[in-house]
Amino acid sequence: MSDKVENSKNMRVVIKCGGSILNNQAELTHIIAGIKSLIEKGYQPLIVHGGGPEISQLANKLGIKSEFKNGLRVTDAAMLEITQMALLGITNPKLVAELNKQTIKASGLALHTLGALIAETLDIATYGYVGVVTSVNPEPIYQLLANGFIPVIAPLAVDENWQILNINADLAAAAIAKAISAEKLILLSDIDGYYSNYPDPSSLVAELSLTELQHLLTTDNNSISAGMIPKLEACYQAVGSKVNTAHIINGNKAAALANIALGIAQIGTTIYKSSSNNTAIDKSTLQTKGASA
For 84, other C-beta atoms within 10 Å of its C-beta total 18
- Is 128 known as a binding-site position? no
How far apart are the C-alpha atoms of 232 and 180, rounded to whole Å? 20
Distances (CA, A) of 108 to 2, 16, 145: 20, 14, 12
For every residue of 97-140, DSSP letters joined together read HHHHHTT--EEEE-GGGGT-EEEEES-HHHHBSEEEEEEE--HH
Question: 138 — phi, psi (to 5°)?
Answer: -80, 0
- Is 263 known as a binding-site position? no
How far apart are the C-alpha atoms of 12 and 177, rounded to whole Å? 8
- Is 73 known as a binding-site position? yes
* Angle between the N-to-C axes of helices 229-239 and 210-219, in degrees from 0 to 180, rounded to the nearest 10: 140
How far apart are the C-alpha atoms of 203 and 196, rounded to whole Å? 5
For the chain, the distance separating the N- and C-terminal CA atoms, rounded to the nearest angstrom, is 31
Residue numbers in the known binding site are 51-52, 73, 166
Residue numbers in the known binding site for substrate are 51-52, 73, 166
